[in-house]
Amino acid sequence: MSEKIQIFDTTLRDGEQVPGCQLSTEEKITIARELEALGVDIIEAGFPISSPGDFLSVIGISRAVKEPVVCGLTRARQEDIDVAAEALRYAKRGRIHTGIGSSDIHIKHKFRSTREQVLEQGVWAVKYAKSKGFEVEFYAEDAGRADLPFLARMIEAVIDAGADVVNIPDTTGYCLPHLYGKRIAYLFENVSNIHQAVVSVHCHNDLGLATANTISGLISGARQAEVTINGIGERAGNTSLEEVVMILKKHKDLNMHTGIKTERIYGISKLVSKMMRMPVQPNKAIVGANAFAHSSGIHQDGFLKHAENYEIINPAEVGVPCSSIVLTARSGRAALKHRLEQLGFKVEGAELDIVYENFLIMADEKKEVTDKDLEVLAANIPVLTR
């Protein structure tokens, strides 16, 4: 039977940490409502102690959404947990996301501490957050570079302390997919109480592997994926929601599904990009401007014969209005004829050859030939008639 993967969206927390992407409380509430309509299971609404604005945003989002769990981030500190609990008090279902570093590099150079001390602090934080009456998720920061036996010990201890979800972040985007998957598998094999918690994957994209690592972690048994819209986030970003969701949808053999209404993906991608003033790169999978654009002659011909020759996703499935055929000097006769027909011009055989020669001269001068350009071409070529 297909297993449900929980989608934990951190666009409003890890995504919003990007310089220049800061949002007002109103804007965050608008995005949170769209995330709810999209069908995400958990919204990480902010880091309440970080600023009064974030505190108010977590309150506003807790009031505004009904279905998703609302989550607030904390460090493993009493004041952070107190403020998060206060901000989440209106949430129908609230979650405190607390944690501490787990790699030796973080323990030594960030916390200037020892393995034993951070483990103790993590356990204390989980117990304290639990005492506030919320669901508790524990993050073992930099788990991607942590010593595995120590990580397993830490995870076992925080589950014993009451953690409902354990997050195994590849904070620095360092891991290779098969090794990140092995880390998750190791925890399933070596943490005796692992089935008492949901294992979550949270991957960064420093080496362009965030999505691959997330999928690898899910294959190894994780059941929650932490993602952002358009993959925005610290440095090179986080795993992108649209990629994970569509991979699980397309690869039915993985036997996993999400509750995401995929036809809403493109709309929320545009909204987040606009509100965060963060353009989406044109070749971004699923939501980039070129994700459903066909420009070379061979591809255009194949696509026009049967869309599935070159498209594994129907654009309507993710809310993209339609595929596009871009006319350039690399386009062939099939695409030119198709576009001319859409504009009402009929042209075949030798006459198409004449039009095509003229088209190529124009296309060599311009990067892209638009419908307007084709009208100009038609006005100058007597064989082109409507």
Which residues sit at the interface with ligand KIV, rule CB under 6 A? 14, 139, 141, 167, 169, 171, 202, 204
Window contacting Zn ion (CB under 5 A); options: 8-16, 77-85, 269-277, 332-340: 8-16
- Residue 170: phi and psi, rounded to 5, are -95, 75
What the block records as the tokens of 292 is: 């459903």
**By C-beta, is 109 or 251 nearer to ligand KIV?**
109
Contact of residue 141 among Zn ion, ligand KIV, none (CB under 5-8 Å per partner type): ligand KIV
Q: Would you say 167 or 220 has its CB closer to ligand KIV?
A: 167
Using CB under 5 A as the binding rule, whether residue 137 contacts Zn ion is answered as no
In the list Zn ion, ligand KIV, none, the entry touching 139 (Cβ below 5 to 8 angstroms by class) is ligand KIV
How many C-beta atoms surround the C-beta of residue 312 within 10 A?
Answer: 7
Which residue, 142 or 301, has its beta carbon nearer to Zn ion?
Answer: 142
Chain positions 11 to 30 lying near Zn ion, rule: CB under 5 A, are 14
Residue with tokens 């206060």: 86
Reported as half-sphere exposure (CB side, CA atoms, 13 A), residue 73 has a value of: 23
Based on CB atoms, which residue is closest to Zn ion, 27 or 170? 170
Cα 114 to its chain centre, rounded Å, is 34
Residue 59, token pair as written in the block: 């309150």
Shortest spacing between CB 234 and Zn ion, in angstroms? 6
3-state SS assignment for residue 298 = helix
Instruction: State the nearest-atom distance from the C-beta of 57 to ligand KIV, in Å.
Output: 17
Q: What distance in Å separates the CA atoms of residue 167 and residue 223, rounded to the nearest whole number?
A: 10
Q: How far is the CB of 141 from ligand KIV (least distance, A)?
A: 4
Smallest distance, ligand KIV to C-beta of residue 194, A? 19
Helix (H, G, I), strand (E, B) or coil at 100: strand
Which partner in ligand KIV, Zn ion, none is near 128 (CB below 5 to 8 A by kind)? Answer: none
Residues pairing with 141 in the sheet = 101
Q: Which does 200 bind (CB under 5 to 8 A by kind): Zn ion, ligand KIV, none?
A: none
Nearest to 12 by CA among 27, 267, 49: 27
- Closest approach of Cβ 223 to ligand KIV, in Å? 17
Which of ligand KIV, Zn ion, none interacts with 284 (beta carbon under 5 to 8 A by kind)? none
Cβ neighbours around 106 below 10 Å, total? 21
Binding positions for Zn ion, 236-265, rule CB under 5 A = none
- What are 46's strand-pairing partners? 72
Query: Of 80 and 301, which has the nearer Cβ to ligand KIV?
Result: 80
Residue closest to Zn ion when measured from CB atoms? 14
181's CB contacts (< 8 A; 6+ apart) are 213, 216, 217, 219, 220
231, 238 contact by CB (below 8 A): yes
Based on CB atoms, which residue is closest to ligand KIV, 14 or 27? Answer: 14
Task: Decide if 215 contacts 247 (C-beta within 8 A).
Answer: yes
In angstroms, rounded to a whole number, what is the distance separating the alpha carbons of residues 359 and 104?
A: 63
* Nearest-angstrom CA–CA distance, 120 and 351: 80
Residues in contact with Zn ion, counted by CB under 5 A, come to a total of 1
CB of 175 to ligand KIV, least distance (A): 12
- 299: partner contacted, choices Zn ion, ligand KIV, none (Cβ within 5-8 A by kind): none
Q: Please state the closest distance from residue 23 (CB atom) to ligand KIV, in A.
A: 18
For ligand KIV, the closer CB: 142 or 156:
142
184 and 217 Cβ atoms separated by less than 8 Å: yes
Query: What does 101 bind: ligand KIV, Zn ion, none (CB cut-off 5 to 8 Å by kind)?
Result: none
Instruction: Say how many Å lie between the first and final Cα of the chain, rounded.
Output: 56
Nearest distance from C-beta of residue 223 to Zn ion, angstroms: 19
Q: Of 224, 152, 209, 167, give the one whose Cα is nearest residue 5.
A: 224
For binding to Zn ion (CB under 5 A), which residues are involved?
A: 14
